[in-house]
Amino acid sequence: MIIPNKLKQGDEIRIIAPSRSASILSDEGVQTAKERLENLGFVISFGKHVFDKNLQNSTSIQQRVEDLHDAFADKNVKGILTVIGGFNSNELLPYIDYELIKKYTKVFCGYSDITAIGTAISTQTGMVTYSGPHFSSFQMRKAQEYQTHFFKQCLMQNEPFELKPSEHWSDDAWYLDQENRVFENTVWKTYNEGTVSGELWGGNLCTLNLLQGTKYMPIIENAILFIEDDEMTIPETFARDLTSLLQNAQSIKALVIGRFQRASKITEEQLLFILDKHPMLKTIPVLYDVDFGHTQPMFTFPIGGEVQIAAEKGSLKLVRF
């Protein structure tokens, strides 16, 4: 896999909206996120159509593709952050100029619905993309230190490093109330022990599964899968989606599951019941309640990169990213 050049202070980061529009953010939120990234030493610019919106708080396929292509083709731009997730980034996949992206490789980062477009870019160009904070994620004040630390570790340096658990985590609507937040102690948990290394694929589970049957779906056999889902899932749908992905892979090296939101009702009892259904998961390393997905804070990880897992220690190390 091609590793894009790492970001450095003084680099320009382009903000684009391949899913929902930035119009859903407050002016204060946009300014806060922009200033926080500028304080890290970056120059921030915005795509032409980032603040436009249609009936579903997005923009046309043509407008979103235009901003994506402009961001990659602009030689001054060294990294690309998505505004936020949503529901429709997979609409863009047949219209993307993947040869253009391969010619101008650069950091591309986002999560949730962005799993579709990031994965498609990786499969079609051989370039590593990143599952990590959106532009909107940098509005968050409390727990921002952890998120920013691993964003910088993954996107601004080359040396292998360990992903470590946060001290505490939250599932509250921080974007509505930054002050009155509720945090809990973080514990990464082991379902099955083992040590392994391999290529990493994954992201948001229901979004990744949208790619099955298309040329954009990666070959995940013998890969290490990182998966998570949001508050719209429930135990039954997560079980169905996980089964579909495992049947696609037939065999994987390891499974790492991001922490669930409370609204999903996927308790530890429910999750263990689901995992117990699959004999293959009793023979490979499996971790869960890990710091990525739709709870805060989150770390950044490379789609198509290489990771080492020592599940009995709860250890994750990014090797090539």
Tokens of 172: 């509250």
Please check the confidence at residue 293 and state whether its pLDDT lies above 90: yes
Residue 149: active-site member:
no
Q: How far apart are CA 165 and CA 208, in angstroms?
A: 25
Per-residue confidence (pLDDT) for residue 220, from 0 to 100: 96
Q: How far apart are CA 140 and CA 174, in angstroms?
A: 7
Give the C-alpha distances (Å, rounded to integers) separating 85 from 110, 264, 283.
8, 18, 34
Tokens of 280: 């293959």
Cα 263 from chain centroid (whole Å): 20
List the catalytic residue out of 89, 228, 264, 306: 228
List the catalytic residue out of 58, 89, 112, 264: 112
- Stretch 274-280: mean pLDDT: 98
Q: Tell me the HSE value of 259 on the side-chain side, using a 13 A CA sphere.
A: 24
- Stretch 262-290: mean pLDDT: 98
Q: Where do the domains of the chain lie, and which CATH numbers do they carry?
A: 12-139 (3.40.50.10740), 162-320 (3.50.30.60)
Query: Given pLDDT bands bounded at 50, 70 and 90, which one contains residue 20?
Result: very high
Q: How far apart are CA 177 and CA 194, in angstroms?
A: 41
Per-residue confidence (pLDDT) for residue 250, from 0 to 100: 87
Residue 112: active-site member:
yes
Q: Which residues contact 206 (CB under 8 A, 6 or more apart)?
A: 229, 232, 233, 237, 241
Per-residue confidence (pLDDT) for residue 79, from 0 to 100: 98
List the catalytic residue out of 49, 89, 294, 306: 294
Q: How far apart are CA 141 and CA 224, in angstroms?
A: 32
pTM above 0.75, yes or no: yes
The per-residue pLDDT for range 98-128, each reduced to its tens digit, is 999 999 999 999 999 999 999 999 999 999 9
The per-residue pLDDT for range 196-248, each reduced to its tens digit, is 999 999 999 999 999 999 999 999 999 999 999 999 999 999 999 999 999 99
Q: How far apart are CA 114 and CA 265, in angstroms?
A: 24
The DSSP letter of residue 139 is G
E-strand stretches of the chain: 12-16, 43-46, 77-82, 107-110, 129-131, 161-163, 168-169, 184-185, 189-192, 195-204, 224-228, 254-258, 286-290, 301-303, 306-310, 315-320
Please check the confidence at residue 132 and state whether its pLDDT lies above 90: yes
Give the C-alpha distances (Å, rounded to integers) separating 262 from 20, 78, 230, 297.
24, 37, 9, 15
What average pLDDT does the chain have? 97
The per-residue pLDDT for range 40-97, each reduced to its tens digit, is 999 999 999 999 999 999 999 999 999 999 999 999 999 999 999 999 999 999 999 9
